[in-house]
Structure 1
Amino acid sequence: MVVDNHSDDATARIAGEHADTVLVEGPERSAQRNAGIRAANGEWVLWLDSDMVLPPDAVESAVRTAEQEGATGVALPERTIGDGFWTACRALERECYLDEPWLHNPRLVPRDYLLGDGGFHLEMSGPEDADLRMRMLREGRSIALAPVIVDHDEGRLTLPDVLRKRYYYGRSIPAFASQHEGAVGAQGRTVLRSYLRHRGDLARDPAHAAGMVLMRGLEAVGYAVGARRGARDRRQAASSGGPA
């Protein structure tokens, strides 16, 4: 099943040649995912973004992991692939997270759970996966790690691209923080611990490690500026009687 957000290229036509179902939904990916969940009819839902590539046995392995471990959600760890210096910096960063279960968001979840829990938060675009993880953990649900690696093809990253994306994600941080007190800080501390645990790997690749530090610093700026804008938007929506 493919859910397209009103693309102005040939995405919908190409998807129609390969997918069983093609939906056109928007305005953002939380709404798109919720539409896909409602239209699905299987026991499990596994969602991917358009720049992700699954190994051949990923779905079978994820479902088997859920059944063997009695988990409500299953995360599929990711690694970054692509070209260029900044993409290599991102790849090095992601390698630090592969053995940190708390940082992996579920990607395979029972459809009934998603329907009953309301699915993805419509006010979030970026942190919606972490929001789902935090809700599941708060309810005492278990999230297991499947023994597979998803390739996340980020192309050729540039610093302006990274800043724009983090600004966009940052606009959802106030909504996320309002739902999960202290979660933003806890996420940051866990990330820093993962870097410390992998300091040997970073030391063996000093050029990309330095680039990673610079990129993460710029991302923090993008998040902060985006969060300011998001907080302002929420205040304006509240004062006008719209959804906060």
Structure 2
Amino acid sequence: MDEKYKKIIKKYARYFQDGPERSIQRNRGIKEAKGEYILIIDQDMYLTPEVIEECYGCLKGNIALTIPEISIGSGFWTECVAFERYISIYLEEGMNECCRFFRKTDALAIGGYDTTIVGVEDSDFHYRMKAKGTIGKIKEYLYHDEGRTSFFGRIKKKYYYSKAFRKYLKRYPDIAIAQFFPIKKAYVKHWKIFLKNPVLAGGAILLRSAEVMAGFLGLILKNKYAK
């Protein structure tokens, strides 16, 4: 992170940095937190005004909460990402959603985020939390700034993350297959929205299919050369 941003953060909060991957950083944040509740967001996410209030009010009776995301940014592929997430996450309770608000004690009880899983660590955490209780969903949303999405940048990222996918696949075979199948149930359910936006729909399906293929290829190749 740029030094100027570190200085800004330190004016309002405690700043820690571990690494190299997100699971280690998040576990450090959970451990160092002084409060009862934890909210996990990425550096490219922005909260809308009522998110915290609704999370606090809705956590009772749930072990954790998911927060709907609206993707923003520039470029055609960013629009495709935003369109796909609107269908599969904002309109639905998709299998790819991950809890972001929970109690510190509950997170520590399951051992935090698995540091051996990269790319799907938040999904793994979500399903381990779900095994302990009910996960709710608030109506307020956060913005996810995708910047300017690169088609091949997304493919490269999925290929990189595939190195940890085998462990996740063994842990949640049915969930993993459903999550990474190119066509989601939400696409079929909201087919009218797809028909009204054929260009974005086509781009979203093309991008998702390419991501799935890249992940599958990486899974095969990395397993082959690891022997």
Q: 2:142 matched to 1:150?
A: yes
- Identical aligned pairs, as a percentage? 30
Cα distance in 2 between the residues matched to 1:182 and 1:77:
23
Structure 2 residue corresponding to 1:58, chosen from 46, 51, 55: 51
Alignment deviations for residues 152-199 of structure 1 (CA, whole Å, 9 cap, x no partner)? 000111111111221122222112112223221132469610111111
Structure 2, unaligned runs of 5 or more: none
Q: 2:82 matched to 1:88?
A: no
Count of equivalent residues: 225
**SS of 2:173 mapped into structure 1:** coil
Partner of 2:6: 12
Question: Structure 2: which amino acid aligns with 1:205?
Answer: N
**Does the aligned pair in 2 maintain the 1:171–1:229 contact within 8 Å?**
no
Bigger RCO of structures 1 and 2 (CA < 8 A, at least 6 apart): 2
**Does the aligned pair in 2 maintain the 1:52–1:152 contact within 8 Å?**
yes
Cα distance in 1 between the residues matched to 2:44 and 2:201:
24
Partner of 1:4: none
Matches within 5 A, 1:190-209: 192-209=184-201
Partner of 2:157: 165
Matches within 5 A, 1:1-244: 7=1, 10-17=4-11, 19-67=12-60, 70-97=61-88, 98-103=90-95, 104-139=97-132, 141-188=133-180, 192-228=184-220, 231=223
**SS of 1:152 mapped into structure 2:** strand
TM-superposed CA distance for 1:30, in Å, is 0.3
Question: Structure 2: which amino acid aligns with 1:43?
Answer: E
**SS of 1:108 mapped into structure 2:** strand
Structure 1, unaligned runs of 5 or more: 1-6, 237-244
Question: Structure 2: which amino acid aligns with 1:16?
Answer: K
Cα distance in 1 between the residues matched to 2:222 and 2:28:
24
TM-score, structure 2 normalization: 0.91
Q: Supply the RMSD in Å over aligned alpha carbons.
A: 2.0
**Does the aligned pair in 2 maintain the 1:75–1:143 contact within 8 Å?**
yes
